[in-house]
Every structure is written in C-alpha cells, then in structure tokens.
Amino acid sequence: MLTQDVHERLAQVGSGTPMGELLRRYWHPVAGTAELDEDPVHPLRLLGEDLVLFRDARGGLGLVANRCAHRGLNMAYGIPQENGLRCAYHGWTYDAAGRVIDMPFEPACLPLQIKAYPVQQLGGLVFAYLGPEPAPLLPRYDLFVRDDIDRYVEITVLPCSWLQCMDNSLDPVHFEHLHGHFGNYVLKKLGKPPMLFPARHLKIDFDLFEYGIIKRRLVEGEPEDCDDWTIGHPFLFPNILYVGDARPNYQVRVPMDETHTLHVRYQSVPLKDGTQSRREIPTRRVTWFDERGNPTVPLDEIPRQDMLAWVAQGPITDRTREHLVTSDKGVLLYHQLLLENIEKVGRGEDPMAVVRDPAKNEPMIELPRERSAYRAFWGDGHETRSRRVSVAWQNRG
C-alpha cells in the first residue's frame, strides 16, 4: 500500500511533476510514419500536452502546440506549406521551431513563437522529445533497426494510466489466471472450447540491466537451464515491454495524460525465404475499448485480455488501497526504480536507459531475449509436451 504522496508521484505525468519530469527525459513514439502519408497533419496528446505533428511540403517534420498564437485556433486544421504549418483562420505560419514566419494581414511579421518540440523518425515511427536540451539520442533498439524482419505497427488508445499497463508487465503470474482460466471462461461463454492451459509458475525473478529489468520465470515441466529462466526477456525502462518468440514485439505504453495511454505495438514478422525487408512499415489503428473502458471486441485473445486488466482497474487505480504481495515483487521493484530515477532527475542526472553515447547506439542496441516464450498448452493440441502439467493446472479449479 502506498501513501497518497507516493501514489501521486507515480500517477502524475504533467510538466513540473516528478514523474512528468522523468518521462520528459525519453523519446516517445507518437504516430506511424505511414499515418502522415494519409494525412500530413496529425493532432495528438502527449504527457498532458495537446500538440500537432505535421509534415511540411518539403518532407520536414514539426511538432507544435495546438493553439495558434493569434486567436487560438486549433492548429490541427493547419495547412502544410513549404516551410511550416499555416493556420486555417488568418494564415499565420509556423516553422518547426514554432516561430511565426508569416502574418499575411500584417505590415510585418512579429517575433512570436509557440511551443515546439523535436521529432525524429525511426523504423516507421515518429518519436517526440519534450524534455530539456540537449536531447539524448533516440535509442536504436534492435527491432526498430534490423533488416532481416518485416514489421507493422498497431496503435490503440486506452482510457487508463500508462502505469497500469507497465505494472502488468512486471507481474508474470497473471498469465496463468488471466490468459488461462479467465480466457477459457470467456471462450466457454462464447460457446467455444478452452484454448490455453498455462503451466504453473514455480518461481519468478527480476534483475536490473543497463536498459531496464530482465524478467525471468520457471514454470512446471521446464528444467532450470531453460532460457525462460536463464535469459528471460527485457522490460525497457521506463515504458516498453519486449515479448514474443518467433515474432518478437515491443509494446510501448506512451502516457497521453494521466488517464489515457497510446499503446504502440511494434510487431516483427519473419521474412519469407528469399524476400527482403519491406521499406514501408504499415500502421493501423484499432479500438478495443471505449472511453468508459468497456470492451468493443470479444476478449478471446491474449493482448485484449491484458488490455482488459489495465483498463478494468479504472482510469487511475488507487495505489493507497492496493495490497501488493509476494507475487508482486516485480511491480514493487519497478515502482522503486521509478522513484529512484525521479530522484536522479531531481539531482540533475540522467535517469536509467537515457542514451548519449553514439558508440552504444550504433548500429543498434541488441537486447537479450529468450528463444521460447512462456510454455503453455494450447487447446488445439499443438503442444505435446507435459500435458500432465496442464491437466494438473486445470484440476486446481
């Protein structure tokens, strides 16, 4: 159970708040590059700020505050120019630094400026940085850079705090119940047979590494030298989970504000024999939960069940009323790490996983990951080993 003060430190994301200042030390993905091909003006919300991302007619990107300095029209209605974004109302034009560079009905252009932030593109995503200068490097995590995979991006807006998504990622044992027991219950209500019988967790552990936390588990039926236990998979501080086996993916939980998360799934796909990685990386937007947190799709798939777990805690779970127990040791470690890094920022230091050394970033940051994901037993029979384990788990009721 946390005190009200610590609960608020963890939950807030606005400028000037401790967590808001920590989160402003990182680059955050805000859109798929492909989305700007469809519409070069893209309104968004990041860390409690309403902004407009645009691609000008020369292909340059800008990210500016959404209110025109003249009389406040929303720049989401702006028109891209050769050199910036022109307000729909009276044509004031802003460059990528937010400076007004044209006032069509004035004798001279006044030296006015709105907020603007740097953006960069990598791996089919546009990233924004809202922190102090000098900005750190945009980390070249492996899936963003590798040329031996195809990729696509799936983006969902969720009506809950980003931290609820993250807590779930530091909580391995939920897999057994949420995706096994609850998932099969959902299927039963849909008139379908059970699908997943996860093996029981014997132990879980967490280790810090340069870019975050390595999460490891040993489940019934696995030897101690299995790579789920010896290697595990990483959680990239502060807000990226790296999961998967043959099709690894990043799940980036971008805080739009305290009660909304932009969930960016960055999915890799193995290349078919003889093909080359596609240059275009498609982005699709999906809606699985409405603003009130009600699911708009069946909850018969693992990612949707995870999202239910985040959203069904409410917009911000009250951490003064939680009872964290032994199986929550990863969540406790993560909260501790957040609080320690908030302190580091307060002392003027770089927090964990801020990259400034080009030698570490080039050509990419290779991350450790187990070859096989969590062992589970699928209802369609494509797992043959240790069926006994699944039956034992089922019999637990």
Q: Is 68 in the site for ligand FES (CB under 6 A)?
A: yes
Looking only at residues 278 through 317 of this chain, which bind Fe ion when binding is defined by CB under 5 A? 306
Looking only at residues 179 through 218 of this chain, which bind ligand FES when binding is defined by CB under 6 A? none
Q: Where are the beta strands (DSSP E) in the chain?
A: 27-32, 41-46, 49-55, 61-65, 79-80, 85-86, 93-94, 100-102, 119-122, 125-129, 149-158, 201-209, 212-219, 233-236, 240-243, 249-257, 260-270, 283-285
192 binds, among ligand FES, Fe ion, none (CB under 5 to 8 A by kind): none
Instruction: Give min distance, CB of 117 to ligand FES, in A.
Output: 20
Tokens found for residue 68: 């025109």
Looking only at residues 19 through 38 of this chain, which bind Fe ion when binding is defined by CB under 5 A? none
**φ, ψ for residue 301, nearest 5 deg:** -125, 150
Short-list 259, 304, 285, 4, CA closest to 168: 304
306 binds, among Fe ion, ligand FES, none (CB under 5 to 8 A by kind): Fe ion
Binding mask 91-110 for ligand FES (x = CB under 6 A): xx------------------
Q: Burial code of 173-185, b = ≥16 C-beta within 10 A, e = fewer?
A: bbbbebbbbbbbe
Binding mask 11-50 for ligand FES (x = CB under 6 A): ----------------------------------------
Q: Quote the DSSP letter at residue 142.
A: H
* Residue 61 buriedness (CB in 10 A; 0-12 / 13-18 / 19+): buried
Q: Is 89 in the site for ligand FES (CB under 6 A)?
A: yes
Stretch that binds ligand FES, among 5-13, 82-90, 228-236, 324-332 (CB under 6 A): 82-90
Q: Is 67 in the site for ligand FES (CB under 6 A)?
A: no
Stretch that binds ligand FES, among 89-97, 130-138, 293-301, 364-372 (CB under 6 A): 89-97
Give the span between the Cα atoms of 312 and 60, in whole angstroms: 40
Binding residues for Fe ion, rule CB under 5 A, total 1
Looking only at residues 60 through 89 of this chain, which bind Fe ion when binding is defined by CB under 5 A? none
Which residue reads 């236990």 in tokens? 229
Stretch that binds ligand FES, among 23-31, 65-73, 164-172, 302-310 (CB under 6 A): 65-73
90 binds, among ligand FES, Fe ion, none (CB under 5 to 8 A by kind): ligand FES
Instruction: Give min distance, CB of 249 to Fe ion, in A.
Output: 13
Whether 137 and 271 have beta carbons less than 8 Å apart is answered as no
Give the span between the Cα atoms of 239 and 174, in whole angstroms: 19
Q: Is 71 in the site for ligand FES (CB under 6 A)?
A: yes
Whether 328 and 334 have beta carbons less than 8 Å apart is answered as no
> Smaller CB distance to ligand FES: residue 92 or 310?
92
Using the rule CB under 6 A, which residue among 45, 70, 146, 201 binds ligand FES? 70
Helices (DSSP H) in 170-273: which residue ranges?
174, 183-189, 227-230
Stretch that binds ligand FES, among 67-75, 122-130, 197-205, 221-229 (CB under 6 A): 67-75
Binding residues for ligand FES, rule CB under 6 A, total 9
Tokens found for residue 23: 């989160």
Helices (DSSP H) in 59-202: which residue ranges?
142-145, 162-169, 174, 183-189
Q: Is 329 in the site for ligand FES (CB under 6 A)?
A: no
Tell me how far the alpha carbon of residue 267 is from its chain's centroid.
Answer: 12
* Residue 147 buriedness (CB in 10 A; 0-12 / 13-18 / 19+): exposed
> Smaller CB distance to Fe ion: residue 257 or 306?
306
Q: Is 73 in the site for ligand FES (CB under 6 A)?
A: yes
Contacts (Cβ under 8 Å, ≥6 apart) of 15: 21, 24, 47, 48, 49, 130
Q: Is 87 in the site for ligand FES (CB under 6 A)?
A: yes
77 binds, among Fe ion, ligand FES, none (CB under 5 to 8 A by kind): none
Give the span between the Cα atoms of 395 and 397, in whole angstroms: 5
> Smaller CB distance to Fe ion: residue 49 or 306?
306
Applying CB under 6 A, the residues found at the interface with ligand FES are: 68, 70-71, 73, 87, 89-92
Applying CB under 5 A, the residues found at the interface with Fe ion are: 306
